[in-house]
Structure formats: C-alpha cells, structure tokens
C-alpha cells in the first residue's frame, strides 16, 4: 500500500504521489530532473508539498509538462497553481477535453454544481470559489488524439481515447513496459468511472472498458484513484468490462 503525503517509485520510470484529501487524485511523475511530466495535477491544495516531494526525490525545482487525463476538478485544479508558478509549463490533453480546459468551463470542470437547481446553484458556485474551486482558462499546448505517441523519458505512451466518464478522457499505454495509466476510466477490482456528470455516457464508457479489456500487454495499472496495481493489471480491466 502506498501511503499518502509521500512519493513512491512504482518503477524506475514512474513515481506516484497518492491522492490526499477529499476531491483529490493520484499524481504520477515520469521523466527525470529537467524533463519531468505530471500525469494529472490534483486538486491544487498541496502544490507546495508536491513540489517539495519532487525536489527531494529528483533534485528538481521545476516541472516541464502536465498531461491531463480529463478535466474534472479533482484532477485539474492543481494545473492552475503549477501554471502560475511555471508559466512555460506545457499542457497536454485530448483535443475534445481541450475545448473545456481552454474555456475554463465551470459546468463541466466542476460538475457537482449542476446537481443543484435554481437558487441553490447560485449559492453553491460562490461557496465553491471560496474553497479554491475556480476554474480558469488555460491554453492546451499539445492537443492529443487516438494513437498519438508521447515519448517522455524512457516511456513511449500511446494515447487511447476512452470517453464515457468525460467526452475526451484518455488512457496512456506503454506496451513494452506493460504500463497503463487509466485516469478515471477504470480503477481496481472491477470499479470504473461514474457517468452521471454532464458529458458522461454509459454507452461510451462500456465501449471504452471493452477497448481496455482487449489490451494484451498490461501488467501495471495506474488509476486516477485508489491504489495502483503492480501485477496482473489486465485482470482488473477484464473484470470491469465484465461487470458492466
């Protein structure tokens, strides 16, 4: 089990900072000092601690890129903090997701607001802003699509478009190293992302789960929430697809 508020090397290529407080996500780090990429950026409540952990592990003061698996607040609020600290940081996201990120569209990024109707919704939005939930427009420098390859450090990650949880959600697969980053498309032990938020689709998620279950080279499963799986990752993908 990977403990919170610490950094752990999963392989020589990948580190994890496990999700912390509520509305947070796992952060993954790939590359090396001077060439570091975050996969997802968390909820923005622990940016200083994250940078301190990275400095202790890598001896690096900066991050060069952030790849967003999707646009929800628990994965993206940290992007705004990192972008302010490192204006030159490069942002990666699927081309569909990029439209929402570049617009800073609160109804998609913070979908819980849409669960409240009428006057209550007008009250919830300013309260959310008081807690730092305030999406901002951010330029997406590299707009990704299906089968794009991201070569970073020793990893060669193929982009797999997996809509369902969000329209432009993605997974990242290194076939040679048998590593799969899954964002909120699928987790461990057969669990998978919810589809009741705006932009969600049960039909598309079912197809995405089937696509992932058909992958043959997955040993290490690295989800956006819950604990990573270091062995037999494909078994969890097949279970999720079968349970739908």
Q: How is the chain split into domains, by residue range?
A: 8-243
Measured CA distances, 34 to 10, 178, 188 (Å): 20, 25, 32
Q: What is the three-class DSSP state of 24?
A: coil
Measured CA distances, 227 to 3, 34, 83, 171 (Å): 10, 28, 27, 16
pLDDT tens string, the chain, 244 residues long: the values are 787 779 999 999 999 999 876 678 999 999 999 999 999 999 888 899 999 999 999 999 899 999 999 999 999 999 999 999 999 999 999 999 999 999 999 889 988 766 555 555 555 565 555 555 678 999 999 999 999 999 999 999 999 999 999 999 999 999 999 999 999 999 999 999 999 999 999 999 999 999 999 999 999 999 999 999 999 999 999 999 998 7
pLDDT of residue 244: 73
**How open is the CA angle 94-99-104, to the nearest 5 degrees?**
115
pLDDT of residue 2: 80
Q: What is the three-class DSSP state of 81?
A: helix
Q: Token pair for residue 101?
A: 């990120």
Query: Which CATH number, 3.60.15.10, 2.60.120.260, 2.60.40.10, 3.40.50.720, labels domain 8-243?
Result: 3.60.15.10
Taking the alpha carbons at both ends of the chain, their separation in whole angstroms is 27
Q: Token pair for residue 140?
A: 């997406």
pLDDT of residue 144: 99
Tokens 């403990």, residue? 3
């Amino acid at each position: 089990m990977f403990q919170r508020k610490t950094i752990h090397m999963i392989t020589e290529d990948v580190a994890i900072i496990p999700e912390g407080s509520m509305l947070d996500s796992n952060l993954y780090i790939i590359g090396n000092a001077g060439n570091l990429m975050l996969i997802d950026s968390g909820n923005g409540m622990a940016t200083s601690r994250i940078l301190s952990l990275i400095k202790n592990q890598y001896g690096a003061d900066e991050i060069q890129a952030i790849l967003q698996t999707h646009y929800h607040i628990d994965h993206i609020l940290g992007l705004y903090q990192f972008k302010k600290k490192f204006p030159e940081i490069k942002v990666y996201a699927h081309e569909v997701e990029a439209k929402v990120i570049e617009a800073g569209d609160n109804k998609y990024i913070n979908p819980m607001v849409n669960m409240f109707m009428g006057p209550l919704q007008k009250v919830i939005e300013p309260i959310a802003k008081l807690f730092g939930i305030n999406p901002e427009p951010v330029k997406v420098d590299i707009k990704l699509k299906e089968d794009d390859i991201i070569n970073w450090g020793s990893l060669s990650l193929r982009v797999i478009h997996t809509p369902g949880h969000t329209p432009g959600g993605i997974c990242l697969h290194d076939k040679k190293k048998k590593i799969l980053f899954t964002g909120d498309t699928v987790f461990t032990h057969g669990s998978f992302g919810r589809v009741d938020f705006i932009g969600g689709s049960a039909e598309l998620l079912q197809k995405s789960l089937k696509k992932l279950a058909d992958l043959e080279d997955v040993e290490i499963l690295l989800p956006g929430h819950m604990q990573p799986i270091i062995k037999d990752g494909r078994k969890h993908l097949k279970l999720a697809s079968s349970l739908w």
